Amino acid sequence: METLTAKVGNVLIGSGNRIVPQTMCNTHTSDVDGTVAQCVRMHEAGAGLIRITCPGMGDVKYMKEIREKLRAMGIDTPLVADIHFSSETAIAVAPYVEKVRINPGNFNRDHEEACRQFSRLVKVCKEHGTAIRIGLNHGSLGDRITNLYGNTPNAMAKAAMEWLELCIAEDFMNVVVSLKSSNTIVMVEAYRLLAAAMQERGVVFPVHVGVTEAGNGDSGRIKSCVGISALLSEGIGNTIRVSLTEDPVNEIPVARYLADRYDGLIGSSMASVRISERKAEATYDSPSRERLILDVACDFGKRLLDKELDEISIDGIYRDEDGKEVSIAGSGLAEYLEDELMQATRRRFYKPEYIACPGCGRTMYDLQGAFEAVKARTGHLKDVVIAVMGCIVNGPGEMADADWGYVGEGNHKVSIYHGKEPVLRHVPDTEAVDKLVELIEAESASKK
């Protein structure tokens, strides 16, 4: 898809340019040295952009320091300030970073006032050559939009178009847009609607693509590859983030794989495929387990999402760490991958659906440890969506359609949510997983 080009520091985002893999720090922004060290690791791993949370005015000075330290080390990777609610913080930090990520709909409950605040930010960004990402997430669209269009992919695309129209009216085109969801069907549909709307409008901004709160491990990688590859294969997407609840440096090889694959630099390790009666039987000859997983997700994710296929069956070989050939079917990987892919495309659920944010500078507890503990204790449950979120400010709003939420408050305390409602607050973190499991089991027993 032909797009405009956004200039983010020394990186160009848009058609004609390579897809840019990016990631986000999970350090506290006030920990300047820790954040700089993480940025260095991200840069060395190949991050094209690095996002850092800027929760409040007090953090602007840290952003400035982090940038200065990185530049003094000769690292010129553009920095993106992540802003959630405060237009004033966005305006204050804009001169010191290459891009600001905002959801302007969250600036103010009064839409007219939010528009005024957004215009002020645009003016500052124009003055300093700072780009803007308009980043809307399913689950945090705000009442005005959901009252008009429901909590739907269409609402996400409509909300984004409103803000893009304002950019056009202000003659500010240094903009990237994203519409993320943890649900691959919602996410793919929202981006497709947005792409169509921008094409109809005749002004197509570059697009940042990602599956938000994808979780970790194989599931997080497969879910991300399904959503991102479906769009990249249609030419939608100019910069990508693979959100994992892990060390953020781990996101880069996956994002790099996706970027290279859809820039046409690498191909799949699939050796052959036979498709009949909506079932694909594929044989792989893969250099590694990790590569096999990414290839399978990209080869079949979109076709399962779009219901062009109902079933897949995988066979062949991959090589283990010592270069030894391992049979895919013989190792049990075939069935596991088929289950994971069916779940990532939301065709069949063989285990709980987990939503987990990657964490950021707002996280005040051991998010990765808590997510592992929740998974270990709930893996036997069925037909339930469980969210594990890194902060109490944004977590509840961002966990979208989860049935249950485990939200770290900080100070070793946890809030447990049922849908959008907090049912237990300030639970000590040593007891929180037990409480969550008790509540889920009590509810499922009451339904029997």
Cα–Cα distance, 50 to 308 (Å, whole number): 36
Span interacting with ligand SF4, options 9-17, 115-123, 191-199, 357-365, rule CB under 6 A: 357-365
User: Dihedrals φ, ψ of 148, to 5°?
Assistant: -80, -45
Going by the DSSP 8-state scheme, the letter that residue 249 receives in this structure is G
Cα–Cα distance, 445 to 448 (Å, whole number): 5
Contact 28, 14 (CB under 8 A): no
Cα–Cα distance, 397 to 129 (Å, whole number): 31
Give the length of the chain: 448
The residue from 67, 223, 362, 375 that contacts ligand SF4 (CB under 6 A) is 362
Q: Which of residues 34-93 bind ligand SF4 (CB under 6 A)?
A: none
The nearest distance, CB 94 to ligand SF4, in angstroms, is 20
The residue from 47, 225, 357, 373 that contacts ligand SF4 (CB under 6 A) is 357
Q: Which is nearer to ligand SF4, 138 or 362 (CB)?
A: 362
Q: Which is nearer to ligand SF4, 21 or 210 (CB)?
A: 210
C-alpha distances (whole Å) from 97 to each of 60, 171, 417 are: 10, 21, 36
DSSP letters along 99-110, please? Answer: EEEE-GGGT-SS
The nearest distance, CB 82 to ligand SF4, in angstroms, is 8
Span interacting with ligand SF4, options 146-154, 194-202, 355-363, 419-427, rule CB under 6 A: 355-363
Helices within 277-417 (DSSP H only): 289-305, 333-344, 367-378, 395-398
Q: Which is nearer to ligand SF4, 227 or 248 (CB)?
A: 248
The nearest distance, CB 365 to ligand SF4, in angstroms, is 10
User: Dihedrals φ, ψ of 93, to 5°?
Assistant: -90, -20
The nearest distance, CB 221 to ligand SF4, in angstroms, is 18
CA dihedral 292, 298, 301, 302 (to 10 degrees): -160
Span interacting with ligand SF4, options 38-46, 56-64, 319-327, 352-360, rule CB under 6 A: 352-360
Q: Which is nearer to ligand SF4, 260 or 403 (CB)?
A: 403
Question: Taking CB under 6 A as the rule, does residue 189 contact ligand SF4?
Answer: no
Contact 206, 5 (CB under 8 A): yes
126 membership: H or E segment, kind and range: helix 111-128
User: Dihedrals φ, ψ of 144, to 5°?
Assistant: -60, -45
Of 320, 436, 423, nearest in space to 378 by CA: 436
The residue from 3, 183, 363, 378 that contacts ligand SF4 (CB under 6 A) is 363
In three-state secondary structure terms, 9 is: coil
Q: Which is nearer to ligand SF4, 164 or 356 (CB)?
A: 356
The nearest distance, CB 367 to ligand SF4, in angstroms, is 7
The nearest distance, CB 373 to ligand SF4, in angstroms, is 17
Give the burial class of 401: count Cβ atoms within 10 A of its Cβ; 0-12 exposed, 13-18 middle, 19 or more buried. middle
Question: Taking CB under 6 A as the rule, does residue 360 contact ligand SF4?
Answer: yes
Which tokens sit at 214?
């994808």
Span interacting with ligand SF4, options 100-108, 247-255, 351-359, 416-424, rule CB under 6 A: 351-359
Q: Which residue is nearest to ligand SF4 (CB)?
A: 390
Q: Which of residues 379-408 bind ligand SF4 (CB under 6 A)?
A: 389-391, 394-395, 398
The nearest distance, CB 100 to ligand SF4, in angstroms, is 15
Question: Taking CB under 6 A as the rule, does residue 359 contact ligand SF4?
Answer: yes
Q: Which is nearer to ligand SF4, 238 or 363 (CB)?
A: 363
Q: Which is nearer to ligand SF4, 326 or 364 (CB)?
A: 364
Identity at 8, one-letter amino acid code? V
Span interacting with ligand SF4, options 288-296, 298-306, 325-333, 359-367, rule CB under 6 A: 359-367
Cα–Cα distance, 64 to 350 (Å, whole number): 47
The nearest distance, CB 360 to ligand SF4, in angstroms, is 3
The nearest distance, CB 396 to ligand SF4, in angstroms, is 9
Radius of gyration of the chain measured on its C-alpha atoms: 21
Give the interface with ligand SF4 as residue ranges (CB under 6 A). 357-360, 362-363, 389-391, 394-395, 398
